[in-house]
């Protein structure tokens, strides 16, 4: 899966939130300083050419919608993050959070319960 740059990711985040949008709608939701209309239009057309965004035509105007699912992109981005910063190790990632982020006991308990529930629900384990 292609890694999106910051502005492409911002456009996709807006489309995931809105469901569908015209370029003006996307531009209105973007962070300051807002890029020019033509820049946003170019970003959306590039995303469309890559198959990440689709559109409905209304004459010369296009209303864009996401084809790439947020969950798919998030899973891929998270995997890349874990690979780059934690050697692909989930335990190294969790150890970091436990040691560096001062997790509360209740948060640790939730993590342990999630691990326990996953083990109980995995096929072939009883």
Residues 11 and 35 in one domain: yes
Mean pLDDT computed over 81-93: 91
18 and 74 share one domain: yes
Q: Which of 61, 53, 73, 64 is nearest to 2 (CA)?
A: 73
Query: Which CATH number belongs to the domain containing residue 1 in this structure?
Result: 1.10.10.10
Return the pLDDT at 17.
98
Task: Identify the pLDDT of residue 39.
Answer: 98
Segment 22-56, tens digit of pLDDT: 999 999 999 999 999 999 999 999 999 999 999 99
Q: How many domains does the chain contain in total?
A: 2
pLDDT band at 125 (very low <50, low <70, confident <90, very high): low
Range of the structural domain that residue 18 is part of:
1-88
Tens-place pLDDT, residues 99-112: 887 778 888 889 88
Q: For the residues 11-17, what does the mean pLDDT come to?
A: 98
Q: Are residues 16 and 32 in the same domain?
A: yes
If asked whether residues 62 and 47 sit together in one domain, one would say yes
Q: pTM of the entire structure?
A: 0.78
- Residues 104, 49, single domain; the answer is no
Judge whether residue 6 has pLDDT over 70: yes
Are 94 and 80 in the same domain?
no
My answer on whether 65 and 10 are in the same domain is yes
Q: Where do runs of H (alpha helix) occur along the chain?
A: 6-18, 23-29, 37-49, 70-86, 90-100, 105-121
- Same domain membership, residue 56 and residue 97: no
Question: Looking at the structure, do residues 117 and 66 belong to the same domain, yes or no?
Answer: no
Looking at the structure, tell me whether residues 74 and 112 fall in a common domain. no
124 and 79 in a common domain: no
Query: Mean of the pLDDT values across residues 51-68?
Result: 97
Mean pLDDT of 79-93: 92
- Residues 94 and 109 occupy one common structural domain: yes
Burial of residue 42 (number of CB atoms within 10 Å: 0-12, 13-18, 19+): middle
């Amino acid at each position: 899966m292609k890694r999106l740059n910051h502005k492409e990711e911002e456009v996709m985040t807006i489309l995931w939130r809105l469901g569908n949008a015209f370029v003006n709608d996307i531009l209105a939701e973007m962070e300051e300083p807002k890029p020019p209309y033509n820049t946003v239009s170019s970003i959306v057309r590039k995303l469309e050419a890559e198959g990440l965004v689709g559109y409905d035509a209304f004459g010369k105007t296009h209303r864009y919608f996401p084809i790439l699912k947020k969950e798919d992109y998030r899973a891929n981005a998270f995997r890349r993050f874990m690979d780059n910063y934690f050697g692909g190790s989930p335990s190294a990632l969790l150890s970091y959070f436990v040691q560096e982020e001062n997790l509360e006991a209740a948060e640790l308990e939730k993590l342990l319960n999630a691990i326990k529930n996953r083990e109980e629900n995995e096929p072939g384990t009883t």
